[in-house]
Structure 1
Amino acid sequence: MNYNDVQNEIKEEISNTLGQINSESVEKLLAEIKQADKVFFVGVGRVLLSLEAVAKRLAHLGIKTYVVGQITEPAITEKDLLIVGSGSGESAFPLIIAKKAKKYNARVAHIGANPDCSMKEYSDHFVRIPVSTKLQLPNEIPSVQPMTSLFEQSLLLLGDSLALMLIREQNIDMPSLWEYHANLE
């Protein structure tokens, strides 16, 4: 197997997956993001890495974003949104954080693959990325990639899609975004 064959398989998987995400659920998530005073993100492992990239990109657009657990994380309130990334919807830490966010009357959006999960109890909104999870449920898009790589990649690109939707909706001048980019590097 050579590089060209592998990267073509991965591109096809990602294209197929992104094409099967419900656009109305994405538009509703975008509305939730725009309505929130602050947007918090929680996930674990590689999902967290993808969410951190999404948080950073939205921060470039002037949205106040925080990753749960970072040292400068403020209090969550009823004016805020928690975005949970969890393919299975069963990961313990995100479940605990979502439950706590609801205690403070924050909105909770879950981006995952499993609509019938424990996270459903705490979520106000769900965006399904219909890929294979660690649970190996029916109606999931299979992947040639290891473990849940397709979910993590799709989560990152979903975040970039949300950012581009915001840019176009608000007619943001792309070069002006550099004012929000880190400059102590």
Structure 2
Amino acid sequence: MVNFKEATDVITSELTSTLSNVNNDEIDNLINQINKAEKVFFVGVGRVLLSLQSIAKRFAHLGVQTYVVGQITEPAMTDKDLLIVGSGSGETAFPLIIAKKAKELNATVAHIGTNSTSSMSQYADVFVRLPISSNPNSDEEVQSHQPMKSLFEQSLLLLGDTIALMLVRKENIELNSLWEYHANLE
């Protein structure tokens, strides 16, 4: 039987391996697009969507205008906006349809996923690769012992928080000043 410490060691080891192998230039490119955008939209499905919603909220705390595709108050997208797609495979139907529509509107599309040659690549202006394997024989990617795609969703969430911290430091944002963006109807 596996105990709690052993299980957490597996998870934190996989996360460390994944995040330490993300390409810094890809992150810098994504941050540049976030900074240029008037509005940042997010799209994904399932548990990936939950991670993206957390990232959208974190970026909103930094003063970024964020929207999750499908939310009731979602505004129109323009050519000044950025769509961030979370899709490990880059083959998920709904995000592909939304990315295609965003390109038709001349928006910038960023894909965070595991496969740079997926169908999403035809729409993505920016790609950030999370080096997580779907192939058990790959030595170049992190092999996960967790169920389903847990490592992707976890890595995506921590990647978003990492980018938020980078934005705070790059802009010399005083952390106490961020409370003005925090929900206050709680």
TM above 0.5, yes or no, is: yes
Unaligned runs of 5+ in 1: none
Q: Specify every segment of 5 or more residues in structure 2 that has no aligned partner in the other structure, as ranges.
A: none
TM-score, with structure 1 as normaliser: 0.97
Q: C-alpha offsets along residues 156-176 of structure 1, whole Å, 9 cap, x if unaligned?
A: 011001100010011111111
- The within-5 A match list for 1:45-56 is 45-56=46-57
Please tell me whether the aligned partners of residues 132 and 148 of structure 1 are also in contact (alpha carbons under 8 angstroms).
no
Q: State the Cα deviation string for residues 28-55 of structure 1 (Å, max 9, x = none).
A: 1000000000000000000000000000
Q: How does 1:26-175 map to 2 (within 5 A)?
A: 26-133=27-134, 138=138, 139-175=140-176
Describe the superposition over 1:71-122 as per-residue Cα deviations: whole angstroms up to 9, x where unpaired: 0000100000000000000000000000000000000000000111000000
Tell me the SS of whatever aligns to 1:178.
Answer: helix
Q: Paired residues, what number? A: 184
What's the secondary structure of 1:63's corresponding residue? coil
Task: For 1:27, give the aligned amino acid.
Answer: D
CA distance in 2, matches of 1:10, 1:16: 10
Q: Which amino acid in the other structure matches residue 25 of structure 2?
A: E
| Matches of 1:51 and 1:150, distance apart in 2 | 14
- Read off the aligned partner of 1:116 and give its amino acid letter: T
